[in-house]
């Protein structure tokens, strides 16, 4: 992260998966005073070791959650996509037919080779 961000880590990170590796990577990539937003839940019973002193007191990192937005948030997101200020096409790593739905869920659960998996029933 420092190599591509002028020596700094990320100020804001949005974690859109419950994969433990993604959660750990987010905690390693957040800058002092930064924020991590967890947008997806983990499986039941998942825990991650965390040094309270290092993470909060020394680095003042904020952890927060969200799983939905209101109507205005959705409209703003759509406007940003329509204006091409936020590109989402590059996030789609897999397009699968309805018969491949199980494979799609597996890709998302493993969170290794996928970012966004689209199921196209008409395919």
DSSP lists the bridge partners of residue 62 as 35
What pLDDT score was predicted for residue 59?
Answer: 92
Examine the domain organization and report whether 50 and 79 are in the same domain.
Answer: no
**Given a cut of 90, is residue 123 above it in pLDDT?**
no
H/E stretch holding 52: helix 52-52
CATH of the domain at 34: 3.40.50.720
Structure tokens at 32: 């002092």
Burial per residue of 91-116, b for 16 or more beta-carbon CB atoms within 10 angstroms, e otherwise = eeebebeeebeeebeebbeebeebee
Examine the domain organization and report whether 58 and 99 are in the same domain.
Answer: no
Examine the domain organization and report whether 9 and 31 are in the same domain.
Answer: yes
**Given a cut of 90, is residue 18 above it in pLDDT?**
no
What pTM did the predictor assign? 0.59
Examine the domain organization and report whether 17 and 54 are in the same domain.
Answer: yes
Examine the domain organization and report whether 79 and 114 are in the same domain.
Answer: yes
Task: Compute φ and ψ for 31, nearest 5 degrees.
Answer: -75, 160
Examine the domain organization and report whether 6 and 61 are in the same domain.
Answer: yes
Examine the domain organization and report whether 60 and 6 are in the same domain.
Answer: yes
Of 46, 65, 84, the last residue of a domain is 65
Q: How confident is the model at residue 43 (pLDDT cuts 50, 70, 90)?
A: confident
Examine the domain organization and report whether 59 and 92 are in the same domain.
Answer: no
What pLDDT score was predicted for residue 119?
Answer: 94
Structure tokens at 82: 């329509």
Quote the domain boundaries for residue 98: 74-120
- Which tens digit of pLDDT belongs to each residue from 77-107? 899 999 999 888 888 999 999 999 999 988 9
Examine the domain organization and report whether 81 and 26 are in the same domain.
Answer: no
Q: Which residues contact 41 (CB under 8 A, 6 or more apart)?
A: 18, 67
Q: How many domains does the chain have?
A: 2
Instruction: Assess contact for 32 and 12: CB atoms under 8 A.
Output: no
């Amino acid at each position: 992260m420092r190599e591509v961000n002028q020596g700094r880590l990320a100020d804001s990170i949005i974690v859109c998966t419950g994969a433990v590796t993604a959660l750990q990577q987010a905690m390693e990539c957040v800058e002092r005073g930064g924020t991590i937003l967890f947008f997806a839940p983990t499986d039941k019973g998942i825990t991650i070791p965390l040094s309270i002193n290092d993470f909060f007191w020394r680095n003042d990192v904020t952890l927060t959650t969200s799983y939905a937005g209101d109507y205005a948030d959705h409209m703003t997101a759509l406007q940003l996509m329509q204006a091409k200020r936020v590109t989402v096409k590059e996030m789609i790593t897999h397009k699968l037919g309805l018969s491949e739905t199980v494979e799609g869920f597996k890709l998302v659960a493993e969170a290794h080779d996928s970012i966004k998996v689209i199921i196209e029933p008409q395919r």
